[in-house]
Chains A and B, each alone.
Chain A
Amino acid sequence: MSTAASLATTTSGADLLLWVAFPYICLAVFTVGHIWRYRQDQFGWTSRTSQLLEHRWLRWGSPLFHLGAFMVIGGHVVGLAVPASWTEAAGISEHQYHTTAVWAGSVAGVAMVTGLGMLCARRLLTRRIRLGTDRSDKFLFPLLSATVLLGITATAAHNVFGPGYDYRETISVWFRGIFTLQPQPEAITGAPLLFQLHALTACLLFAAWPFTRLVHVWSVPIGYLARPYLVYRRRTNTPVAPARARRSARRAA
């Protein structure tokens, strides 16, 4: 960590590249990629279910992974987006916060890692599914696994078994800086390597998001709870987006 500590005093060009330029590029790719894919590839926008071909591992792996992921995402939102001063103001001491985070985070992390492990295992071990794994999956699964494993290793090494690392004073500050357009690369340059790598792979994951099956996250069918059971549609008023109408006009020409 000595190099990281020495870098913390100044902000070198490499730091600017890693902790300012790279996150912004990833966010830009994330945003533009989603818009592009949503407009161009509705047909490919799916969870790509493989339950038909293998269901025994999926039965446990998929719910474990997804429910674990929900908790992990929730934990990250609280840990990264909410400043420590807010939770203090709410009467939650640093120690209480830390204890809760470690416990809930451990449960969530173990669930997510176990689930992801099972999902990766079935993808590797079941030939039918391995053959159905496309390039985006071959990129996504290792990247997601790396991010999750780095995250849980960092937490385990520093906060469960280690002396404790208060990421809320450092990494969270950097994270919020990105979104408030006041980047503070110096806040993260002193962080332990595992946390830094975790942050970098996470940025990469966001950049890859729109080009993988992760897009199904945005299709979570909440509207189903409220809509009438039967759906009727007229053949005549199929909504035609202007872009598509133009395209089909061009095609017809």
Chain B
Amino acid sequence: MPRDGATIGRVMAQVAMVMNLDKCIGCHTCSVTCKQTWTNRTGVEYAWFNNVETKPGVGYPRRYEDQEQWKGGWMLDKRGRLVLRSGGRVKRLLSLFSNPDLPSIEDYYEPVTYDYDNLVSAPAGPDMPVARPRSVLTGKPTDITWGANWEDSLGGAPEHAGADPNLSGEWAEKVKFEFEQTFLFHLPRLCEHCLNPACVSACPSGAMYKRVEDGIVLVDQDRCRGWRMCVTACPYKKVYVNHVTGKAEKCTFCFPRIEAGQPTICSETCVGRLRYLGLLLYDADRVGEAAATPDEKDLLDAQRGVFLDPSDPEVIAAARRSGIPEDWLDAARRSPVYDLVMTYKVALPLHPEYRTMPMVWYVPPLSPVLDAVDAAGGNQDDPDHVFAAVTQLRIPLEYLAELFTAGDADVVAGVLMKLTALRSYMRERILGEPGDESALKAVGLTAREAEDMHRLLAVAKYQDRYVIPAAHKEDAAALSAMENRCPVESSGDPQPTDGRRVMLGIPTLRRRNPDAPAGGHP
């Protein structure tokens, strides 16, 4: 990539993710395995480091994308400077006593468990025993009125989905929620591990940080003091308060697995094989400037401009100067994320207008296009028909544009046409025909590139999807100090009584544990 003569600053590497939304079937396997791995503890019952939303829908927590209300992310002030939407440093310290923009548990949902025991211990009787829901916050029977995926597959959409903050503008009237006219797609979400993380910038204690080596954003559990400003600052609402420990917790990008060269648990267990993990090299010195790009619609290009071409000799030299090891440079050159984001440019960031420079990108969904062609009486194999249909999708381009390009529908249309051309070309190839390259040319692809994209997006072999270099063993001395410590320590469970861990701030008994006798200390 030509760099317009600009010198390259500090080169940093980030393990980034791309998700191919066309393949997401909304099975929630990623969410469930993530929960089992990280948040199956008291205090974070309501927290889903990974959740899958149905779009359109209000999301989790409710209407989190409405930054007028929740004050997440960055914005430009009157003088064009980048400022946190939740206010400046002094204002943040003044709201330590009560954060006016913190979602309450009702905005997420009240976590419940069920009286499973009743199913086996109920006395014989004429009725089937039932497992009633019980709030884990109060221990009392409760009604379930909301959940992290309450709107799954448009459940309740006629009532709720109209409140989706992305449904703004005149085009939104075209969006229908009647059964035969509507559309949906699934949107798996996790922490974006942003280049310009608002949560880190808002943390008064300096407990949150971005790792230099792999860009993973973490909370230092020993330094977090529970000021909860990160929750407000994150526009994706992917930092959670553990209400038992009083500390912030978030997606760790499964860093113990990443350090071992393994994919995150959500990626590993994705049955749709839609997730990609790989390195992106970026110029850390240009992040602030890119995030302050005046026009929101230029933010996508600005962010792409921060990424560095790992095959460029100048970049390689700069990366070596910044201490990036050779095997990481090699992995960066093989990165599927770089291919999707930079080479083919089919991946787009979620809400670039939040100016956090998110690092989990999405290939927008195309599925309904071919249906739309059929419905219009067109020929699925004729690129002209398909291209025309792209602009008349049941998923309005404007809706996708609200999510992925700060409202620039042309960019989304370009990506969808590229995917359509790829599909139509590869369909012919697979049917044994030579393949008509005119459609490919129209979207700026060569036959070779189409084959490569097909292998990456459709065949999607494990080793092509995940290219993760392991952490360096020479760092092992520092790691050994951490090795016996879980980054998010448990609190509801009995602690080792060897006197090393004190945890005065932790209640010894929070509420009745199903395994413990009622009212007794565990």
Residues in A lying within 8 Å of B, measured CB to CB:
37, 40-55, 58-60, 62-63, 65-67, 127-128, 131-136, 211-213, 216, 219, 221, 223-225, 227, 229-238, 240, 244-245, 247-248, 251-252
**B contact residues around A37 at 8 Å (CB):** 502, 504
Complex alpha-carbon distance, A67 and B98, angstroms: 12
Contact call B227/A221, Cβ cutoff below 8 A: yes
**B contact residues around A240 at 8 Å (CB):** 478, 481
Interface assignment of B25: CB less than 8 Å from any CB of chain A: no
What 1/0 mask marks residues of chain B from 89 to 109 whose CB sits below 8 Å from any chain A CB?
110110011111011110000
Contact call A52/B104, Cβ cutoff below 8 A: yes
Contact call B211/A235, Cβ cutoff below 8 A: yes
Interface residues of B in 5-44 (CB under 8 A from A): none
Contact call A41/B228, Cβ cutoff below 8 A: no
Contact call A230/B196, Cβ cutoff below 8 A: yes
Complex alpha-carbon distance, A231 and B217, angstroms: 10
Q: Which residue of the partner chain B has the closest CB to A48?
A: B246
Complex alpha-carbon distance, A219 and B489, angstroms: 21
Interface assignment of B484: CB less than 8 Å from any CB of chain A: yes
- Given known pairs A216-B225, A231-B208, the reply for A127 and B140 (CB within 8 Å) is yes
Interface size class of B (residues with CB under 8 A): 35 or more
Complex alpha-carbon distance, A181 and B422, angstroms: 85
Interface assignment of B197: CB less than 8 Å from any CB of chain A: yes
Interface assignment of B375: CB less than 8 Å from any CB of chain A: no
Contact call B97/A41, Cβ cutoff below 8 A: no
- Given known pairs A43-B221, A62-B97, the reply for A134 and B508 (CB within 8 Å) is yes
Contact call B484/A251, Cβ cutoff below 8 A: yes
Interface assignment of B366: CB less than 8 Å from any CB of chain A: no
Contact call B200/A248, Cβ cutoff below 8 A: no
- A47, A60, A128: the one contacting B226 at CB < 8 Å is A47
Contact call A225/B245, Cβ cutoff below 8 A: no
Lowest 10 CB-CB distances: which A-B pairs, in order? Answer: A44-B505, A221-B204, A134-B507, A229-B201, A42-B222, A48-B246, A41-B502, A46-B226, A233-B209, A224-B204
Complex alpha-carbon distance, A53 and B505, angstroms: 17
Contact call B225/A237, Cβ cutoff below 8 A: no
**A contact residues around B139 at 8 Å (CB):** 131
Report the minimal beta-carbon distance from A156 to chain B, rounded to whole angstroms.
26
Complex alpha-carbon distance, A76 and B106, angstroms: 41
- Given known pairs A48-B505, A132-B507, the reply for A230 and B200 (CB within 8 Å) is yes
Complex alpha-carbon distance, A54 and B138, angstroms: 13
Contact call A224/B505, Cβ cutoff below 8 A: no
**B contact residues around A133 at 8 Å (CB):** 507
Interface assignment of B175: CB less than 8 Å from any CB of chain A: no
What would 7 more interface pairs be, CB under 8 Å, given A52-B103, A230-B196, A231-B200?
A44-B506, A46-B225, A225-B89, A227-B206, A235-B475, A235-B478, A240-B481
What 1/0 mask marks residues of chain B from 174 to 212 whose CB sits below 8 Å from any chain A CB?
000000000000000000000011001101111011111
Complex alpha-carbon distance, A253 and B284, angstroms: 40
- B203, B489, B507: the one contacting A231 at CB < 8 Å is B203
Interface assignment of B427: CB less than 8 Å from any CB of chain A: no
Contact call B505/A213, Cβ cutoff below 8 A: yes
What 1/0 mask marks residues of chain B from 117 to 129 whose CB sits below 8 Å from any chain A CB?
0000000000000
Interface assignment of B471: CB less than 8 Å from any CB of chain A: yes
Q: Which of B92, B241, B243, B510 is the most central at the interface, judged by chain A CB atoms within 10 Å of its CB?
A: B243
- B93, B247, B479, B480: the one contacting A225 at CB < 8 Å is B93
Complex alpha-carbon distance, A135 and B170, angstroms: 56
Report the minimal beta-carbon distance from B259 to chain A, rounded to whole angstroms.
8
**B contact residues around A54 at 8 Å (CB):** 104
Report the minimal beta-carbon distance from B64 to chain A, rounded to whole angstroms.
15
Report the minimal beta-carbon distance from A70 to chain B, rounded to whole angstroms.
10
Contact call B211/A43, Cβ cutoff below 8 A: no
Q: Which residue of the partner chain B has the closest CB to A211?
A: B504
Complex alpha-carbon distance, A170 and B344, angstroms: 81
- B93, B137, B226, B471: the one contacting A49 at CB < 8 Å is B226
Complex alpha-carbon distance, A43 and B503, angstroms: 6
Complex alpha-carbon distance, A177 and B244, angstroms: 42
**A contact residues around B506 at 8 Å (CB):** 44, 134
Contact call B500/A252, Cβ cutoff below 8 A: no
Report the minimal beta-carbon distance from A37 to chain B, rounded to whole angstroms.
7
Contact call B98/A247, Cβ cutoff below 8 A: no
**B contact residues around A42 at 8 Å (CB):** 222-223
Contact call A52/B105, Cβ cutoff below 8 A: yes
Report the minimal beta-carbon distance from A86 to chain B, rounded to whole angstroms.
32
Contact call B98/A51, Cβ cutoff below 8 A: yes
Report the minimal beta-carbon distance from A191 to chain B, rounded to whole angstroms.
33
Interface assignment of B66: CB less than 8 Å from any CB of chain A: no
Contact call B98/A225, Cβ cutoff below 8 A: no
Contact call A59/B212, Cβ cutoff below 8 A: no
- A132, A236, A245: the one contacting B243 at CB < 8 Å is A132
Contact call B478/A236, Cβ cutoff below 8 A: yes
Q: Which residue of the partner chain A has the closest CB to B504?
A: A44
Interface assignment of B393: CB less than 8 Å from any CB of chain A: no
Interface residues of B in 294-331 (CB under 8 A from A): none
Interface assignment of B224: CB less than 8 Å from any CB of chain A: yes
Interface residues of B in 216-256 (CB under 8 A from A): 221-228, 241, 243-247
